[in-house]
Each structure stands twice: as structure tokens, then as C-alpha cells.
Amino acid sequence: MTTLVHPADTLTRDALTVLQPGFTGTTAPDWLLRRLGEGLASVGLFGRNVASPEQLAALTAQLRAERDDVLVAIDEEGGDVTRLEVRGGSSFPGNLALGAVDDTRLTHDVARELGRRLAECGVNLNWAPSADVNSNPSNPVIGVRSFGSDPQLVARHTAAYVEGLQSAGVAACAKHFPGHGDTAVDSHHDVPHIAAELRTLQERELVPFRAAIAAGTKAVMSAHILLPALDGTLPATLSRNVLTGLLRAPASEGGLGFDGLIVTDGMEMQAISATYGIERGSVLAIGAGADAICVGGGLADEATVLRLRDALVRAVRDGELSEKRLADAAARVRALARWTRSAGAAQGTLPGERGVAPAPEAGLVAARRALRVTRNGPYEPLTAPAYVAAFSPVANIAVGDETPWGVAAELARLVPGTGTGTYGSPGDAAAGPRARIEDILRAAGERRIVAVVRDVHRHAWMAAALDALLDARPDTVVVEMGLPQAPPRGALHIATHGAARVCGRAAAEVIAGG
């Protein structure tokens, strides 16, 4: 254990306590262990920190050797957004698939199994589920991460997910408050605006968050979005009107009455960093009512931690930030850490203990039930090798581009000899879809073609290419692994409601007649 010659003062310790930083590597760097000894209470993990369950368990044990009550957080939604299985694809379908099945018991069981695996690896805070109502089908960042577009459906599955995850001893974090579903801008790049009136927000965006709070969610994550109906100047993460006046305020005052941990979305996202800077943004967020600052997806070094620590200390000493507000925020972080210890002990999910019964097939069962299959006439199951043409859009930052997706690997396992090619947005618009399709036809030869698309309704180039391919080869199988907004096309059309590996397996089974 790292020891300190001069313990940090209370103010500095509180400033460190409210930070949830990231780091690089699959073992904890010395600087991180040192800061844990000085008061840092949370660590955020990302795909770059995970190589295997065994390695992750060793990493979290290393952190707990320094501080036994450390909060170890991760962005593990399952489905398209996975960190546990970042290099192979998730064993769990995402929210849209669960919403399509609309069986809250199944959602509970999937979340519980996901929580069991997290707890087994020593993770005790999951920045999930997404409680966003995907009311805008052109949304570039939520989409399949949402349970759906119906507020009541999203609410009941958000509650089931929270209860399932926390029954495994892992704290849930409903996001992105007060709702990121009605945006056409990704807050990783800019500040999205939601023009909805307060009544619409109450009847749509806020419904799932009320359900999450009623279900006992231990944390809520704020969104970097501007909602003039609530605050015409500051995005939600920095707005006292939103975090204190709405989320924290009691129901008798029109609020949601949430008393748990409020954590920000990543402060290095452009919606905050490009306008306010991460230091100023962090001070404003804590002042507005946030309790924990998430940073580390992009800025994952000691210098960032020290910059934010010093900015918070300076703000208190300059009278810009109340010392009591910072102390209250730090107290909520410590309270959540205590809950994770007691919840883990009660469920037998502390590292090295056995408690929650494994349900290894829960994800596959859900993925199979989520499929929506449309046949355009008789369909003969695939018995000979096929050619999979994957039309691949640019991945949003939340999903990332390092996680494989599609059906090719799973189909090749069932039908050896199946080949594949990836086709992105054509750089030469003048060439049109015809040249792209000719490449696919040459590569496929006589083999049946399986076209895999993702959110075809949002990408004109993809829709044009698919049209041209179906004109040339009407027997093509189409697999939509994003939001199934466009009408079904192809000899066989399969909507998977997500691009997780397990969704690809379920689709491949249907294509091969399994």
C-alpha cells in the first residue's frame, strides 16, 4: 500500500473524491495508486483497460489493495456499447432488443447476469442503463442504446434493468438525464438542443427517470444537452435548474426527489470542453448539483486529475464554489461506496465470493427472441457458403470502432467457407452505388449474398447501395443491425435490434436454417 508522509487536507481530499478518472493500460499506474491513497475514491474503466475477465479481476484487486472501498465504474451497456467484451462483441443484446421483446422479467434477468459478471471482475458501478426515449429516429448517438420510442415501455424496462443489475450488487446509473433521445447532434461533438416544451419533457423524457428512481437506482448521469424549457443558457450538466431544481428537488416542488449520486457524462466531450473547458465545466457542474465528475475517456492521465482537483480547490478558496456543496458531493460518493460494499456482501458478489447463480444463456435467449423476420416469398436456408457484404457507417464515439459487429463470423462458423467484405461510405460520390455493387458481385461470384446494414434509414449512400444490390440479386438476404426504421427488403429480412455478437449469432442461425 502507498503511504503518504503528509496526508492531504480535507478540502483537497474532497476534491479528489468527486473525480472519476480513467487511465491507460491493463494494470493500475503508480500515480493512480498514489492518488487513491490521497483521497481519490473512484476509477473509471474503458475498453483499453480490459483484456480478459481474469486480468480485470486482478486490476480491480490491485485498486482495492490501495483502497478497499474504491468505486470501480465502467460503461457496460451490453449490446453495441461493451467494454467487457470490447474486442469480441457482447454476449448480451442491447436495450432496443430487450424493448422489442418487451418482457421485463427477461430484461431483469439479462441485467442481473451482466451485473454478476461485472461483480465477479470487481466492478461495482455501471454507467448504465440508458433511460433515453429514442423519440428522434435520426438520433446519431442513442438509437439501439434506447429501449424504444414509447416512454412507458422505456420506463418499465429501465426499472427492470436497474433492479436486475443492483440485485447482483452493482450500482446502476440511469442516463442521460434529462433525456438525450430527441437530438440530432452527438454531444461528443457539439451541444445538442432539445426544443420540447416542459409538458412534453414531463410526459416523455422524464418518465423513465422517474421509474429508475422509484426502482432505487443509485446513480443518475447528466447529459450535455441544452433544454431551453429548463435552462436557456447552460447545458443540463452545468445547470442548477436541471440538477438541483428538477432532479434533486422533492416531488412536492415539481422535482424527481432523487437523493443518490449525480455523475456527469464525460467532461472532455466537446459539448463541455470546447465551450467551458474541463476545469471550469467541472466547477460549474459541482456547483449545479453534480456529485462526481466523469473524465478519462479521452484525457486519461495524472495531469488531468491534478488540473481538476486544483480547479475545485481554487474555486472553493475563491468563493466561487461552496465548501459545503463540495463536501456534500464527496459524502454522496462515499455513501455509494459503502452501499456497494454492503450490497456485494449481501449478494455474495464481492470479488472471490460466489452468490448470484450464473445464467450464461440469458443473452442468447434474449437475442433470439428479439429477431423480427420478414420473408418475401419462400426462403431456402443457406446450405452452401455465402458472401457477407457489410455496409459499415462511421461508428459514434460511444460505440467505438474497435468492437467487431455483423453476422459474418457467426455465419462462417455455421457454414464454413462463407466470405465477407466491408463497404463504407464511398469517397467518390460520382462513382455512385453501381461501382460498389459491381465490386460486391465480383467478390460474391455464384454465392448467395447476405447484406448487413446498420441504420439504413440514416444513410442515403447505404440505402442506394442496398437498392442497387437488390436489383441485381433479388435473392439477397438483408440483416438490419441498427434501428429498423426502413421498410423490410430482401428475400429474407432480419431485424436484430442491435449489432452485438450475440445478435449476429441469432441472425446467422435463422439464415442457416437453425
**Is the Cα torsion angle 132, 21, 186, 98 positive or negative in sign?**
negative
Give backbone dihedrals phi and psi of 452, rounded to 5 degrees, phi first. -110, 125
- Gap between the Cα atoms of 272 and 288, Å rounded: 14
> Are 127 and 74 a contacting pair, CB within 8 Å?
yes
Nearest-CA neighbor of 186 among 137, 142, 233, 145? 142
* Residue 23 burial (C-beta neighbours within 10 Å; 0-12, 13-18, 19+): buried
- Catalytic residue chosen out of the listed positions 188, 459, 493, 497: 188
- Is residue 188 annotated as part of the catalytic site, yes or no? yes
> 470 vs 159, 434, 506, CA distance in Å?
42, 12, 23
Close Cβ partners of 298 (under 8 Å, ≥ 6 residues apart): 266, 268
Q: Is 159 left (phi over 0), alpha (psi -120 to 50) or beta?
A: alpha
Close Cβ partners of 415 (under 8 Å, ≥ 6 residues apart): 382, 383, 384, 385, 386, 512
Angle at 494 between CA 489 and CA 495, to 5 degrees: 100
- Gap between the Cα atoms of 170 and 122, Å rounded: 9
- Gap between the Cα atoms of 270 and 268, Å rounded: 6
- Catalytic residue chosen out of the listed positions 265, 291, 455, 493: 265
> Annotated active-site positions, please?
188, 265
